[in-house]
Amino acid sequence: MPGMILLKPGNRILEETFRSQLAPEGARDAIDVRLCDFDDVSYRVQVEKDDMDMIKFSMGLPCWHAIKDKGGEAALEKHYGEWKAESEVGFDISLHIKISEVKDIDAAVNKLQLFKATITGSVFDFFFQGLLDGTKNDKFQFDLRGDTTVYMVPRDDRVTVIFSCDFSENVDKVIAKVFLQELQDGRKKINRAPPTMWGTNPPSELSEFGITENQGCLGYISFAILPSHIKPNEEKKRKVVDTLQTFRTFLQYHIKASKTHFHTKMRKRVIELQKVLNRAKEENTKKEKKTAGGKTFKRG
């Protein structure tokens, strides 16, 4: 959509942290970095004094146990198998990276900063690859975050991805409805875009999950992904996967940006109104006079 920004799937803080630790020049310090990401994801990056050649990297991914058998474990082995380790206490996945064995720093940094995107996106990739291969997969659902459930409905000619979205703040709900409606209407202006439907009532595909009426959320938006949207190459499929797995973050970002814009416009309007009021004030034309005894009074 015009004016909308697609967010990059990587994490900037992770990128800077790993680049500083993997840099060949300069002294390396022991670190213990903890940070949070979108979708209730948390990270920890450690380099201990006792072993300065080892980076311990852990991620807490709430949906991990739901998606590990739907592409999650396979993606972990494929992209991070050489670093896979026993998960640290309080986290779902851990990697141990031996610094001296890293040959291509740029490639390693890029792969590590995309850790969440790669693992979360694996479930979308699992169903999209099944569509290309003609594999029959069962329907599937998982909670991307506490207020968002994703439903995957595979068919012979498409995979329908449905998000049930909700927001805690009433203002966010109003703005989200506008954006989601615009996403549906934008389908008419963009050639070969995936068929998109938005509504407060669940789409017919959710009847397979036993959902025939709204489950107390803001509404449901569905994207029908056809083979033409994800082929002829891996890069095209990856772009669709990245876009869908960051969809909830994309929506939240634009809601926050809209609220910032509204507040800026309101502050500007208030300043203009204050200027008008200041110009409307009457000047004090009454002059003070003194009597012969030294007392003062104002002449009206």
Per-residue pLDDT of 156-209, as tens digits, reads: 999 999 999 999 899 999 999 998 988 888 777 777 788 899 999 999 999 999
Q: Is residue 276 part of a domain?
A: no
Structure tokens at 188: 């008419």
pLDDT of residue 2: 44
Instruction: Tell me which residue range forms the domain holding 51.
Output: 12-255
Residues 68 and 248: their CA atoms lie apart, in Å, by 20
What's the pTM?
A: 0.84
178: CATH? 3.30.1460.20
Helix (H) or strand (E) holding 230: helix 227-230
Q: Is residue 298 part of a domain?
A: no
Contact by Cβ (8 Å): 91, 5: no
Q: Is residue 27 part of a domain?
A: yes
Q: Is residue 153 part of a domain?
A: yes
Q: Is residue 283 part of a domain?
A: no
Q: Is residue 220 part of a domain?
A: yes
pLDDT of residue 148: 94
Q: Is residue 76 part of a domain?
A: yes
Among residues 210, 221, 148, 229, which one has the least CA distance to residue 178? 221
Structure tokens at 290: 């003194």
Q: Is residue 47 part of a domain?
A: yes
> For the chain, how many structural domains are there in total?
1
pLDDT of residue 277: 87
pLDDT of residue 1: 43
Residues of the chain with pLDDT under 50: 1-2
